[in-house]
Every structure is written in structure tokens, then in C-alpha cells.
Structure 1
Amino acid sequence: MPAVDYSLKVIKPNIGGGRVSGSGEKLTSSFDLVEEMHFLFLRVVKARDLACNNAGGTRYPFVEIKIGNYKGTTKYFESSKPNPEWNQVFTFEKVRIQSLSVEITMRKKESVNDEFIGKIAFKMSDIPTRVPPDSPLAPQWYKLEDKDMANGSSVGELMLALWFGTQADEVFPDAWHSDVAPVSGDSIMNTLSKVYISPRLWYLRVNIIEAQDLVLPSDRNRITDVYVKASLGDMKLRTKVSADKSLNPRWNEDLMFVAAEPFYDPLILTVLEKNNDDEISLGSCVIHLSKVYIRWRPEPVGAKWYNLGNVGVEVEELKFSSKLNMRISLDGGYHVFDEPVNFISDYRATFKGLWPPAIGVLELGIISASGLVPMKSRDGKETTDAYCVAKFGPKWVRTRTAVDSFSPKWNEQYTWEVYDPYTVLLIGIFYNCHLNGEKGPTPKDPSIGKLRIRLSTLSTNRIYAYSYPLIVLQPSGVKKMGEIQLALRFTCPSHTSLLATYARPLFPKMHYIHPLSVPQLDSLRQQAVSIVSQRLSRADPPLRKEVVECMLDAGHRLWSPRRAKANIQRLMEAIHLVTEARKLFDKIKKWNNPIANVLVIVLYSTVVFNPNLVMPTLLAYCFLIGIWRYCKRPRDPTHVDIKLSLADSTNADEWDEEFDTFPSSKQGDVLRMRYDRLRSIAGKVVVMVGELATQGERLNALWSWQDRVASAIFLAFCVTVGVIVLSGIVPPRCVLVLVGLYVMRPPRFGVDIPSAPENIFRRLPTKTDCML
């Protein structure tokens, strides 16, 4: 079986009219990152004076467009309209047109056969070409001719416009495309390209302080366990039970919600008493978020008393009511996390007044895909109906769906404003399950592949054109689903602004002044993902919940042996410089190369006797390493590396464990074996952490006098060296040189045997003796 190629490939697409090269030439066209595609556009506006067979007018009129084997129809009206209006646009890819004429037929819907009303024909050679930014072509009235063309009689008029154009035409995104001819009805809406904007998210902080004058039921005179339940939409949180058992309980506890503009749902707070297994309401209040104070600075919010009553009752009209003391604010000084912290595409705070200026523009050309795997079978034929989704900041884009194609061509270009280079562009391809012929009550669009591109790894003002592998993890292992061809450009007009961005805090200041805990952030991120998926699924066409959750990595990261081993390997590579320095020092101690050892000793002695050369020497060394590594710098953007993820070396059992449900669906010996393996891996981690703790405890033991002899030796050493240095008998520099020479002495002088200081350090007591 041939090896699968998971590498990143450089491509040379015919973008920018063939004027783009790898030199990063700046072009003026708004579609210079995609290949130019030519289409025939036909806009059907309305009809008038249609021939009528009854007094009520022509029923169910519609227009049929036919070009060779391609045919498209407008919607039809279910009532009699003498002057129907459609205002629909149809597109036909020019390279696929094999006809010399366009036939436009007016018909009316009938139960058996659609009745012919009139017809218009155009020659391809007579159709004009429009190039934006030219104004749209004005539609004209054309007479419909009946079947007897020789009579020249008219059966009505049809207003339409025809022209040749490209995907840069403003009507292109909403037009009916000839490649979606197998799709009909309302499903066509699911094939259109659209741009979506995430709702503006806020952190809602509810600090519940205390209640006053709670009213108990008449049959009791003693309060028990009281707490407050707060709900915002589908999200419900509650405080702890108050330790104060009086009618004026205290909590002083924060509850955090995520709220999205516009604020549809009010905040409902209810004081509840738990009596055995029952919950008894002691009062509620409803707070509309449009009236809540917006806090974008660190200053505290003033507390306010709220009347408690029954939900739906105007508590302001009550003469007496229980009260609840709270601080409620919309904290706009935070960035609301809906993405994983490591893959954020936007760090801005919610409050617009805190936004930094934009530093540049990111342009993405979604050119095509190739080698996509079949996802479904339709009419006995394997097929793939793929569309692409890209996200950066609050802006989502979705390409049109390419129907029945394993090598779709989208050639759509989008732009985003960039506020920080340390951000990630996220791109995913999905299979459209909402076209004709799909079965199942709630079909979901499965992911074909996903990739991330960090902007800080891109050079500014340069075009990157690459073919990225689409890699997914499945219970059977890693699988390549195809490739996607992209063109990117990060344009930054001012490098001064770019450099200033690196000195700015990554997150808004509120994250550092009043930080949120990790459990709080996890809970709030789950709320944010749920809100964004609900709002975008209400668009037309919807960006469905499963797509949003896949793009935002909403799934919990459960235990994975593969990921654990990969992270350990990453850690070892991260400290590669330290380990290499240790290996080099070991070579020096063993005197494998005497000439190099002599040079090192000379350099060491020179630096010791000239301390002012220490910093320049280190900086010069770092500079030389940087210059040497510049020639070997990465030339390509970041992409998925299966070797780094150990996806190419994981066995079947570990894949099965990674994709197991939570709680586990396994039982018996399989579960026992995996638990034992987990204990083995965790045991090694525990030993490693214990060894690090042991070394730290030995350092503390130097002063603890737990081992009196060792502490006395250490203090005696400190006094002796101090006296020698202060007395001037041996200068400090000579002491350092002697220590260095002793450490780097040749092996014949016993370098393999641990020295006395090492032996003393290893004998220092630790707390391992005190552990069970």
C-alpha cells in the first residue's frame, strides 16, 4: 500500500490574472487571490400583460431557463398575479456552456404538464460582458412570443438582463448556480455562500450579597437551608447554602453568565429554601439586561436592593416586600472566550472603547479542493457535496456548496481586519447533509477536515499559495480526507504599529487586574459556544450547530495516551537547548577533544577575570546562533503534523480508547487493561514530579538543620569561602577559575566519581520519609 502524503505543497494557481508570483507583488483587484471564473448571469425581474385563460389571471406562473443540458426555474406563485415579480439571478459557468443560444420560457404550473405561455431566445454572441466596478446592467422588457413564432404575436412581456461576468459580481453570492441543478426547493438556500457575524458577547457578573426580611410560610417559624438560583435563558446557576440561618441570610458570592446582544432573555433570581427534598420559593425578581450597568474599568460597582415578589408581579406596587442586595454589571473589560485559549483569533475586549486600532488586513482566497473522499451515496452513486467555512474574529464565512464533486472549485475571496498578529485563522470543510434526498430526522454536517494558520508565522505583504492536507482522526486511526488549495496574504501598512503590538498585553487589562479562575473560564466558554451556535443556527441559511461546535472545539478533551506521549515529546523538544548544553558540558568533562577543552578553559578564565565581557559574550553567542538559524528558518505556514501528534504510530487499541465515550462504554477486561495502563503512565508522571520536588526539598534542607551535620558543613563552607575572599588571600576571580578547572578536570583525575559537594547534596533529607 503506497504511503499517504501528509505534507504541505506549494501551488502556482493562475490567480490575479496570471500576474501573481511568489515575490509578493501587490495587486489592485479585489479578487487577486483566486482564479478568475467566468459566468453567464441571467436576472429575471418580473412579467406583465401575460395571456390569461381565466378571469383571475395566470395561475402559478414561472420562468424556465435552458442552456444546452442545463435548466433552471424560478419559483412559482400559488395565487393569480397578472404581473408576477421574481427578481432571481441564475448563473451558468461559461466553460461548461456548449449551446449557442439561451432559451427563456414562460410557463404556468399545472397538475400534469406545465402549460406553455411564451418564449424568448438570445444568441450567445449578442450577450454583453460586464466588469465591476461597472454599474449593474439595467434590465429590459422583452416580448414573449407564442408557439407560432411566425405570427410575431406577443403573449406578454418579461423584464430581464443577461451578461457575462466573474465571481466578483455583487449578485454572485445569492445567485442560483447551474452546478446545483440536482437540488430543488428550499434546499437551494443551503447551497449559497454567506457571511455571518457572531453576536457580541458580554460577561454578566451577579454578586449576591444578602437578603433581608424573608417571609416564611405560615406553618413554620424557622428558616433552614437558603440559597439563590439565577437563570439567564437556558443557563442556571446557584449559590451555596447560606451559613446564616436567620431571615437575613448572607452569601457574598459571584455568579457569572455570558450574555449576547441583543438581550432577549431577562435575568431571573429566585431565593429558595430547601426543606427536605422540596424547594420553596421565598421570592423572585426579574432584571432586564438593557438596564444593567456596563463596567469597563476596574472600579467596583455599587450595591443595590431589589424587591422580591412573584415572577410577573410588579414589585414596585407592593407596600412591603423582601429584598435582595446585589451588585450586577455587564463586564465589558474582558474578552469573552468562545475559542480555545491556544487558538484565539481575537483578543479584543467586549467594550468597543477599549479596542486597539487595526494593524492590517488578512485576505483569504479559497480556491479549490482535490481528492475529497466520498461521504454519502445518492442514487447508487458515491458523492460529496462540500462547502468550506472560515473564521477569524467575530466574522464567519461560508462558501457555496459544490454539488456532486470530489474536486470542487470555489474561488471565493474574503477579508478580515487584524488587531493582533498572534491570532489564528481557522478553516474547515464540511459535507452538506441538507440537500435533496437526505434521510433522517436531524441530519448533521460531518467534518471533512480542519486546519489552523497562525498569522505571526506569515511574512507581511506576501502571497502564500499552498495545498493543505485535510486530516481527521477516526476510531480506525488517522485518515487523509483530501487537500484544500488556499491563498493567503497578511497586509500590514505600518511595521511600527506591528512592532508596538508585541509590547501590548495579550489580553485586556481586566484579565490581569481581576482574573477569572480556570473553572470559571471553562464554564463561561461552554456558555459562549452554546450562545454562538444557537444564534448562527437561526440565520438563513443557518450555520449549523455541529459546524460551529466543531470549529470552536467545543468537545471536552478527555484522556488520550497518544496525546499524553506527544506532549511529553514536545516537552523534551522544548528543553532541547538545555539538554544539548548538558551533553556538550559532559563532552567537555570527558576531554573527548582536548583542543576544544583548552579553548573553553581559556574563554572561561578570560570571562572570569573580565566580568564586563560576560554579557557581551552571551549576547554575541545568541546573535550568532540567530544568524545561523535564519538560513534554516521555516518558509511555510504552520499546518497539521501527524508525526508531532504521534498519529502515525498509535495502535488500534489506543485509538479505540481515545474515541471511547465518557463515561466509558467498555466493560470487563478491556476497561481493566486500560485502567492499569493509565495507572502505569500516571505512576511515571508521579515519580517525575516527586523527583523534582525532592531536589527542591534538598535545597531547602541546607538551612533547615534537619540534618545538623549537613547544615553545619554548608554554613562552614560559606564562612570559609567568605573569609578567604574578604581577606584577599585568594581573589574571588581565582576562586571561580579554580572551581571551573576542578569541574572540567581530565578524567584521569577521577571526574567520573561524584564530587564531595554532590555527595553532601544527595545526602540532604527530604520529605519522602514522611509520606505514606
Structure 2
Amino acid sequence: MEQKFSSRVHLRVCLEGGYHVLDESTMYVSDTRPTARQLWKPPVGILEMGILGAQGLLPMKTKDGRGTTDAYCVAKYGQKWVRTRTILDSFAPKWNEQYTWEVYDPCTVITLGVFDNCHLGGSEKQGAAVSTARDSRIGKVRIRLSTLESHRVYANSYPLLVLHPSGVKTMGELQLAVRFTSLSLANMIYMYGHPLLPKMHYIHPFTVNQIDSLRFQAMNIVATRLGRAEPPLRKEVVEYMLDVDSHLWSMRRSKANFFRIMSILSGTISISRWFGDVCHWKNPITSVLVHILFLILIWYPELILPTMCLYMFFIGLWNYRFRPRNPPHMDNKLSWAEAVHPDELDEEFDTFPTSRPHELVRMRYDRLRSVAGRIQTVVGDIATQGERFQSLLSWRDPRATSLFIMFSLSAAVLLYVTPFRVVALVAGLYILRHPRFRSKMPSVPNNFFKRLTARTDSLL
């Protein structure tokens, strides 16, 4: 038989270690280091997590005619996954296990999940093969490290909330002891002006579709690797920890993001109403004081910027009394999970693609969910930016607020002694500078702002 040579295929395969491929939602990222270990910076802190136990767990299956739960806990931070031992037949398991992670970026999130081991203990519901059994989710806890004060031990109980087709349900409480230790204050301050992602993400950025595709592949790789561990972490556990369905359409999450925006805008609306009252002289004393202040600022325009910076400094000090005492957690009201309509829950728990039988309805329904999912993400990003402005002076991130109010004080002193015309000239020349003098990397204020905390950690 005569063999014919047709052509050759030349391939070049390259692993670019300058990027970081996310395997989790960007809102709850726990690691931002590049793939290449040679590019890693020294750690800036140590995270110690004591998984003490749980209490008030609900029965997840039946055994010998009674309800039972075989619970274990999984924690994920960076590339390190840990799993506690399984406590059999207990609604108040005690693990008392301690784990440690090196922290390379304080603006990251550690995720913990509690599950029921369906492969241990005979269940009367198990009529199928053991291989088809799935570990049931009991609840999840997220803690953003930047909300933790350094060298302080937080020993709290966190509610375990799970959304079911019938509504949100409290499955129990998880008892944790957390301590974040800062190794270097100078490196910690430097991180707040450093880009979130490695350099290559800004020099040659990925597209949105590429990020989604890479994340999907990374999640499958992680699930396969952990499925071969001993004891194994099954795929449903990994998917729940990594929020595999966070991009899908949900009317409930869309409502939550909408009301987050309204909460941000409520402050602006209140100021507008107050200014309208001043203009209409509803309070003559306030109107007179505002007019006097206005004339002073017009006569001495160089006092405008330092007065604003000094004002933000005092607001930050005033809000110090109202700072969160404990790390924030899931919020039913913020997540819009208490008043959700049953039909909206049915839509949220529907499969993708939809299980509707009619082909036309299937096509339109899937298209609507896909487009609405993108809109949901955009709305959530807008709400995140507004909440970051709020967190400048709210002490959710004590280090960031400390840095900002100290900057405000320094700027106030500097601007008080510097002529306003000089400040305006320097600022204008800086904003209008030639592209040759611009860097492709984001500026320090931009990096600082993107590291500020938002309320995404409290969304269910």
C-alpha cells in the first residue's frame, strides 16, 4: 500500500508562569500569586485557623430509623486544602484541629465548608450504589483576612446557612478560632499599593471569555486532583467551595446587588435632600452657616482641599467607635434570602440548560439567563466599587483605614502650607502628562482602592 505524505503540523506549547489562573470566584479570591515560584514574594503574614467544632447541626440522613449526621469540615486558602476527620453520628462534633497558612496578600478570603459524609454510616435512603452518593452541604463560612486585626485571636461561632428550594435554612453553627499575624508592617503597607494580580495581567490582559474558560479548566483539574487524595474530596465538595455556579442567573442575587447599589446611593440622596433644605431655608440657622462657609471658601479657595481631607480624617476617627468587632459573615437580609419568592428560588435551582420541555422556551430561557448573568455581574461590580468608597473610613479593613486617615492628615497639613495655585498646576500637569510618561501598570491610588473591602463576603 502506497503511503502519501500530506503535510506537517508545527506546534509550540508554552506554560506562561507570569499569570495567575483563578480556580475560584474573583470576589472570594484566596491567592493572587503567579504560577512560577521564582516570582513569589516573601509572605507578609501567618494565618492560624483553629476548627474547634460545630453545634446545633440538623440531621442529614436516617440510620436505624433516626436522623443522624456524620460531619467533617473543609478549609481552602490558596493552593492548600485541608479536611478534618469525620465525626460519626453527632449533631455537635468536636474536631479541635489547627491549621496554618502563609499569607502573601492580606486582601484575600479563606473559605470553610461543613459537609455530611454520605459514604459512612448506613443510610436508609441509599438504595442506589455507593458510588452515586453525594456528600451533602451543611454550610459555608468566608472570612476576609483584611478585616482581621493583627495578633488578635477571634473566637466566634458562625451560622451555617444553606439555600434550599424551600428557602434559606440555618443548619447549625461552626466554632472557629482565627489569628492573623503580620510579619512585617512595612511589607503590609507596601501591599496596599501593589497590583492585585501579577504583572502579565496588565501588560497582556486576558479577555473575559479566556478568564472564564481558564477558570473552568482549573476547577476541573483541582477537582480531579483532590478526588485522588486520601481521604478524597469529592467533586460536589470542591464545586461548592469554589462557587462553581456563581456566574449563573439568579433573581435573588440580582435583587441583592440592586439594593446594595441603592444603599450606596442613599447617602448621596440624603446629601441632596439636605442641600435642597438649605436652599429652601427650611432651617434658617443652617442656611446662614452654609452661606458663611461658602463665602469663606470663595474668598480663600486654597482652604477647600485641606478642609475636605481634614473632614475625612475626623470622620474616620469618629467611625472608629462603630468599627466591626468581629469579622463579617453571611447576611440573610443583604443576600435577599428571607423574602425571596418561591418561583424565583425554583428558577435559581433550575438546571442549566433549563429542563423545560418546549424547545422554543428552552432557547429563550437559556438566552435570558446567560445575558442576565452578565448584567448581574456588572451590577455587582458597580456595588463593589461604591462599597469600597464607604470602607475608606468604616474600619472594615483597619490597616487600610489607618493608612487613609493618616494620608488625609498629611495631605491636610501639606495643602494648608502649599499655595492652592501650585497644587492645581501640579495636579493638572500630572493628569495631562504625555503617554510616554505613563506606566502600563495601575497607579498606587488605584491599587489601594481595589484592595479595599466590599460587602461581597457577606453575600449568600
> 1:378 maps to which residue?
63
Displacement after TM superposition at 1:665 (Å): 2.8
Structure 1 unaligned segments of length 5 or more: list them: 1-216, 219-319, 690-772
1:598 is aligned to 288
> Structure 1: how far apart are the matches of 2:335 and 2:281?
39
Corresponding residue for 2:388? none
Please name the residue that 1:474 is paired with. 164
SS across alignment from 1:323: coil
3-state SS of paired residue (1:481): strand
Whether the 8 Å CA contact 2:63–2:121 is kept in 1: the answer is no
Q: 1:558: which partner in 2?
A: 248
**1:346 corresponds to 2:346:** no
Distance 1:633 1:516, change over 3 A: same
User: Once the two structures are superposed, what CA deviation does each residue of 1:70-124 show, in whole Å capped at 9, x if it has no partner?
Assistant: xxxxxxxxxxxxxxxxxxxxxxxxxxxxxxxxxxxxxxxxxxxxxxxxxxxxxxx
Separation (CA, whole Å) in 2 of partners of 1:512 and 1:660: 37
What is the alpha-carbon distance in structure 1 between the residues aligned to residue 331 and residue 246 of structure 2?
Answer: 22
1:624 & 1:451 partners in 2: Cα distance? 34
Aligned: 1:646 with 2:331: no
Q: Secondary structure at the match of 1:345?
A: coil
* TM-superposition CA deviations, 1:590-613 (whole Å, max 9, x none): 211111111111111111111111
Structure 2 residue 274 is matched with structure 1 residue 584: yes
AA matched with 1:449: G
1:362 maps to amino acid: L
Counterpart position of 1:428: 113
Q: What displacement does 1:625 show?
A: 1.4
Distance 1:436 1:643 in 2: 36
The residue aligned with 1:455 is: 145
> Structure 1 residue 507 and structure 2 residue 222: aligned?
no
What is the alpha-carbon distance in structure 2 between the residues aligned to residue 350 and residue 663 of structure 1?
Answer: 33
Matched ranges for 1:275-286 at <5 A: none
Aligned to 2:300: 610
Equivalent residues in 2 for 1:400-419, closer than 5 Å: 400-419=85-104
Give the whole-Å Cα distance in 2 for the aligned partners of 1:392 and 1:414. 11
Is the partner of 1:353 in helix, strand or coil?
helix
Moved more, 512-521 or 575-584: 575-584
Q: In the TM superposition, what is the alpha-carbon distance from 1:463 to its structure 2 partner?
A: 0.4
The answer (yes or no) to whether the contact 2:30–2:110 under 8 Å persists in 1 is yes
| Aligned pairs for 1:16-35 within 5 A | none
How far off is 1:667 after superposition? 6.3
AA at the equivalent of 2:284: P
**Residue 519, structure 1, aligned to residue 209, structure 2:** yes
**Secondary structure of the corresponding residue to residue 472 of structure 1:** strand
Instruction: Within 5 Å, give how 1:156-167 maps onto structure 2.
Output: none
Q: Distance in 2 between matches of 1:325 and 1:599?
A: 77
Looking at secondary structure, tell me which structure has more strand per residue: 1
Opposite residue 383 of structure 1, the aligned amino acid is T
Other-structure match for 2:180: 490
Query: Residue by residue, what CA displacement relative to the aligned partner does 1:115-161 show, whole Å, maximum 9, x if unpaired?
Result: xxxxxxxxxxxxxxxxxxxxxxxxxxxxxxxxxxxxxxxxxxxxxxx
Supply the distance in 2 between the matched residues of 1:626 and 1:583 (Cα, whole angstroms). Answer: 23
Q: How does 1:701-720 map to 2 (within 5 A)?
A: none
1:443 aligned to which of 121, 129, 133: 133
Distance 1:500 1:326 in 2: 42
Indicate which of 349, 355, 368 corresponds to 1:665. 355
Q: Secondary structure at the match of 1:627?
A: helix
Distance (Å, rounded) in 1 between the aligned partners of 2:337 and 2:246 = 19
Displacement after TM superposition at 1:550 (Å): 1.1
Unpaired runs of 5+ in structure 2?
Answer: 380-460
Partner of 2:15: 330
Provide, for residues 616-669 of structure 1, a one-character-per-residue CA deviation record: whole Å limited to 9, x for no partner: 11112111211111111111102000000111111222211211222333468x
SS at match of 1:332: coil
Structure 1 residue 580, shift from structure 2 partner: 2.5
Higher RCO (CA < 8 A, seq sep 6+): 2
Match of 1:540 among 225, 230, 234: 230
Aligned 1:94-243 pairs, distance under 5 A:
none
Name the structure 2 match of 1:392: 77
Deviation at 1:321, TM superposition (A): 6.8
Counterpart-to-counterpart distance in 2, 1:346 and 1:513: 20
Residue in structure 1 matched with residue 260 of structure 2 by the alignment: 570
Of 297, 309, 312, 1:622 maps to 312
Cα distance, 1:516 vs structure 2: 0.4
Which deviates further from its counterpart, 324-333 or 472-481? 324-333
The corresponding residue for 2:391 is none
Partner of 2:33: helix, strand, or coil?
coil
Residues 432-463 of structure 1, C-alpha deviation per residue, up to 9 Å, x if partnerless? 01114253322111110011000001101000
Percent pairwise identity: 57
Deviations 1:348-404 (A, max 9, x none): 000111111101100011111011010111111210000000011111110110000
Which letter maps to 1:358? P
Deviation at 1:574, TM superposition (A): 2.4
Letter in 2 for 1:452: R
Paired residue for 2:404? none
Alpha-carbon distance, 1:326 to partner: 4.6
Q: Note the C-alpha offset of 1:577.
A: 3.3
CA deviation after TM superposition for structure 1 residue 327, in Å: 4.2
Q: For the residues of structure 2 that align with 1:505 and 1:662, how far apart are their CA atoms?
A: 35
2 CA distance for matches of 1:571 and 1:550? Answer: 27
Residue 369, structure 1, aligned to residue 54, structure 2: yes
Following the alignment from structure 1 to structure 2, what is the Cα–Cα distance between the partners of residues 621 and 350? Answer: 43
Query: How many angstroms does 1:556 deviate by?
Result: 5.2
Maintained 8 Å contact 2:25/2:246: no
1:645 partner letter: S
Distance 2:164 2:82 in 1: 26
Q: CA deviation at 1:323?
A: 3.0
Shift of 1:558: 2.3
More helix by share: 2
C-alpha distance in 1, partners of 2:253/2:236?
24
Q: What pairs up with 1:288-367 in 2 under 5 angstroms?
A: 322-367=7-52
Look up the match of 1:20. none
Q: Which amino acid aligns with 2:15?
A: L
Amino acid at match of 1:470: L
Q: How many Å separate the matches in 1 of 2:183 and 2:10?
A: 52
Query: Is the partner of 2:13 in helix, strand or coil?
Result: strand
Length-normalised TM-score, structure 1: 0.45
Give the 3 Å change call, closer, same or farther, for CA 321–662 of structure 1 in structure 2.
closer
- CA drift at 1:322: 2.6
Of 633-642 and 656-665, the range deviating more from structure 2: 656-665
Of residues 135, 154, 160, the one that matches 1:464 is 154
Q: Give the Cα–Cα distance (whole angstroms) in 2 for the partners of residues 503 and 478 of structure 1.
A: 39
What is the aligned partner in structure 2 of residue 634 from structure 1?
Answer: 324
TM-score (norm 2): 0.75
- Number of equivalences: 361
* Amino acid in the other structure paired with 2:75: A
Q: How does 1:82-93 map to 2 (within 5 A)?
A: none
Q: CA RMSD in A?
A: 2.3
Quote the Cα distance in structure 2 between the aligned partners of 1:377 and 1:460: 44
